[in-house]
Structure formats: structure tokens, C-alpha cells
Amino acid sequence: MSQLAQKQTNRENLLAQGVVLLTQQGYHGTGLKEILDAVHIPKGSFYNYFGSKENFGAEVIQYYIAPFIEQLDAHLQNPDIDALAAIKRYFEELIFELEKNDFKGGCLLGNLMGELGDTSEIVRASLQTAVKNYRDLLSYGLARAQQEGSVRTDKSAEELADLLVNTWQGVLLRMKIEKSSLPLKQCCDNLLDDYFKC
């Protein structure tokens, strides 16, 4: 493997391990040594990849959100289902995964919003970008659903997407204390099957 390829692999491994540990233990509960030991990279090398723990946290956020955006986009690009059904299917998959993992961890974005949202500008900016990109894709899907006649049009797609993102973040926290998918299902039923519909 070339040096460049190895560096990229090391970087990916650090980010993937960062997602796992920051989700499980939080930003302040996770030490750099723990991350580096897990992926067998010497401590001095970390700063060549990220510069600081804050920069690392910001990049972990983008690494974490990317698969969710890809998963939602794949559903929205499916020509066999309408946009509202695509969004519902996406959230059903998320709920299934959370049930399979026994409701542990929740959402890294929500966890870090609570832990660092008002103390780290670098992390806050990364969280804002992640939430905006996610919300914008939901807004695109809801706008399509409005054009297809399945979602109400007296509220903008962006307003509805904001409501869905905000409510989903709240029910993820409730899920953690209840150890139940009921809050998640209530969110989807109340919004996607009721409030959002024409």
C-alpha cells in the first residue's frame, strides 16, 4: 500500500473509531490515546491528520452524517416509490437499527449538541453544517411530496423539514431514557402520517 493510501486508511479508521467512541462516551469522556490505541496509530501522528481534538470532533461529525444523507438520498432517488413513502421508509430503517442496537448511543449529533454546542465554535459550526445538509435533503423530499400531492402546502417544505429534524432529535433523547422505540414511532406517525399530510 502506498504511503498516501495508508494515510487515507489511517484517517478513515480514526474517524470511524471516533464515531463509535464519541457516541458511546461523549467528547469529554473520550481520550485521544483511547482512539489511537484502538486503531494502532502513534499519538504523534494524530496531529498530522487533524491538528487538534476539536478539529477531529468536527470532522467526525461530517463523517457520521454522510451515510445518513446517502441513505435518505437513495430512498428519494428510488423511482418505484413516491417521496413521502421514501422518507417514511428511511425513518423505518433508522428505527429498526436503533431497536437492533438496544437504543444505545442515540444520535451523535444530538449528543454533541448537548455536550459542546455552546462551548466549541469549531464543533458548533460542524454541527450546524451537518444539520443543515440533512434538513435540506429532507426539505427537498418534502417539496417533492408536496408536488405529488401527498403533503400539505400551507407550510413550506423547509418549515416541515425543520419540524421533523427538531422533533426527531428530541425523541431520540426520550428513546434513550425510555429504552423504547415508541417515541420514535409516535414522531413518525404523528408527523408523516398525520400532520404533514394533505
Asked whether residue 31 is domain-assigned, the answer is no
The CATH number for 143's domain is 1.10.357.10
Asked whether residue 127 is domain-assigned, the answer is yes
Helix-strand-coil percent breakdown of the chain, rounded to 5?
A: 75, 0, 20
pTM of the model: 0.92
Asked whether residue 36 is domain-assigned, the answer is no
Cell of 3: 504511503
Cell of 67: 451515510
Residue 1 pLDDT > 80, yes or no?
no
Residue located via cell numbers 423547509 = 158
Which region among 15-19, 43-47, 133-137 has the lowest average model confidence (pLDDT)?
43-47
Cα of 198 vs its chain's centroid, Å? 28
Q: What is the pLDDT of residue 42?
A: 85
Cα of 92 vs its chain's centroid, Å? 15
pLDDT average, residue stretch 21-46:
90
Give residue-wise pLDDT tens across range 91-123: 999 999 999 999 988 899 999 999 998 899 999
Number of domains in the chain: 1
Asked whether residue 62 is domain-assigned, the answer is yes
Give residue-wise pLDDT tens across range 131-165: 999 999 999 999 999 999 999 999 999 999 999 99
Give residue-wise pLDDT tens across range 47-72: 889 999 999 999 999 999 999 999 99
Asked whether residue 138 is domain-assigned, the answer is yes
Asked whether residue 48 is domain-assigned, the answer is no
The residue range of the domain holding 120 is: 53-195
| Closest residue by Cα to residue 89 from 69, 78, 75, 70 | 75
